[in-house]
Amino acid sequence: MDPLEEFERLKRQNITALSADAEAQRLSREWLKRVSRHRYTYHFTWLGVPIIQIPQDIVAMQEIIWRIKPDLIIETGVAHGGSVVFYASMMELLGADGHVLGIDIDIRAHNRRVLESHPMRRRYTLVEAPSTSDAALAEVRRYASGRKTVMVCLDSNHTHEHVLNELRLYSPFVTLGSYLVVFDTVIEHFDAGSFPDRPWDKGNNAFTAVRTFLGETDRFELDREIDARLMVSVAPEGYLKRVN
């Protein structure tokens, strides 16, 4: 067997075994809950900009982007902007005219200054508007028009109602074979009351929204292989692939 084929075979074999390891899954969830007490997701940057993600999900997103080669990535929830810069840097590597559309209800002045002066600036556009507003969706339609491969990442307000609304509004822009990634589904794995200063909680979050959404459509399915490989993720059962 070709060495690269053998490498892939062994990798798949190990991933399958890991996905069946219930104790490893439990420990992974407990570890993430523990380090989240120290705001673990805030510890990392991408090209100098805080990304507010964990390394495992950053690697997973890199793999998806390199494989499907989107020419437009839409992100709701910009925050400091590290994810926008990350997606833009991937577009730069892919070449062509790939672009990122970052949408946030409030792009704060200090974050905007950093993003507008960043070397990746030409690869992204910032839209300051509620993600579900007519203004935001008009920009999405404008940028998505004529694009071959569109990917969507939802990472704004994590309440059930808001995420479900985003899923319904943004899923039509995702092209066949591409991904709709919903971040912070991990909230459902935390104990009730873990987010006292936020409107979301166990039972009312991105995970519950994804479950409802998947019950409404056959156009998307969970990419469970990603979950099996990562083990530690802020988006368990949040990597949705368009299949129809």
Q: What is the pLDDT of residues 127-153, one digit of tens each?
A: 999 999 999 999 999 999 999 999 999
pLDDT of residue 1: 80
SS3 content of the chain, % helix, strand, coil (to 5): 50, 15, 35
Residue-wise burial string across 120-145, b where 16 or more C-beta atoms lie within 10 A, e elsewhere: beebbebbebbbbeeebbebbeebbe
Name residues of the chain where pLDDT drops below 50: none
Cβ-count burial of 25 within 10 angstroms (0-12 exposed, 13-18 middle, 19+ buried)? middle
CATH of domain 3-242: 3.40.50.150
pLDDT of residue 10: 96
Give the pTM: 0.97
